[in-house]
Amino acid sequence: MHNEPQPISVAIVQRGEQYLLLRRAPYLRYYGGFWVPPAGTLFNNETVAECAVRETFEETQLRVTPIRAGKPFISSQGERILRVNPVLCELVSGSVKLNSESSAHAWASLKELWNFKLVPSVPEGFESVGLNVPSKAKQESLF
Chain segment 50-90, per-residue pLDDT in tens: 999 999 999 999 999 999 999 999 998 778 899 999 999 99
- Spatial contact of 113 and 122, defined as CB atoms under 8 Å apart: yes
Q: Using alpha carbons, list the distances in angstroms from residue 123 to 9, 21, 94, 102, 115.
A: 15, 12, 25, 19, 13
| Structure-derived torsion over alpha carbons of residues 20, 24, 25, 26, reported in degrees to the nearest 10 | -140
Instruction: Report, as an integer, the average pLDDT of 114-125.
Output: 94
pLDDT for the residue numbered 96: 97
Please give the Cα distance from 59 to 97 (Å, whole number). Answer: 8
pLDDT for the residue numbered 142: 43
Percent of the chain with pLDDT over 70: 94
pLDDT for the residue numbered 2: 53
Residue 143: band (very low, low, confident or very high) from pLDDT cuts 50, 70, 90:
very low
Q: Which domains, from first to last, does the chain contain? A: 6-141 (3.90.79.10)
19: nearest Cα among 90, 69, 81:
90
Please give the Cα distance from 58 to 37 (Å, whole number). Answer: 13
pTM for the model: 0.91
pLDDT for the residue numbered 22: 97
Query: Does 138 score more than 80 pLDDT?
Result: no
3-state SS assignment for residue 136: helix
Please give the Cα distance from 64 to 62 (Å, whole number). Answer: 6
pLDDT for the residue numbered 141: 37
Please give the Cα distance from 37 to 24 (Å, whole number). Answer: 10
What is the pairing mode between strands 35-36 and 18-24? Answer: antiparallel
Query: Does 103 score more than 90 pLDDT?
Result: yes
